[in-house]
Amino acid sequence: MGHQWVDISLAWDDRPRFVQNKAPKVTASDMSPAEWPAQPDHEWCPPGHGDLYPAMLGTALGDG
C-alpha cells in the first residue's frame, strides 16, 4: 500500500502549482518598507483579490 502513495505523490508533483504573488508591507508613518529581521517572510503580504488572474497566468493555470 505504501507504493500506491508514492505513485500518487509523483503524479501530484507534475501538476502546475498556484503561487500567489507578494507585495511588500510598508510602515504607516512614512510608507517605507517594513523590516522584520527575525522573520523576513513577515515583511511581505498577499496583494489581494485583484491579483487572482495575474497570479493564475503567472503559474500557467490560466492557460486554456
Q: What is the pLDDT of residue 37?
A: 96
Could you tell me the pLDDT band of residue 1, with boundaries at 50, 70 and 90? very low
**3-class SS string, 4-46:** HHHHHHHHHHCCCCCCCCCEECECCCCCCECCCCCCHHHHEEC
CB neighbour list of residue 6: distance below 8 Å, 6 or more residues apart: none
Q: What percent of the chain is predicted at pLDDT more than 90?
A: 31
Which pTM was predicted? Answer: 0.52
Residue 25 has pLDDT above 60, yes or no: yes
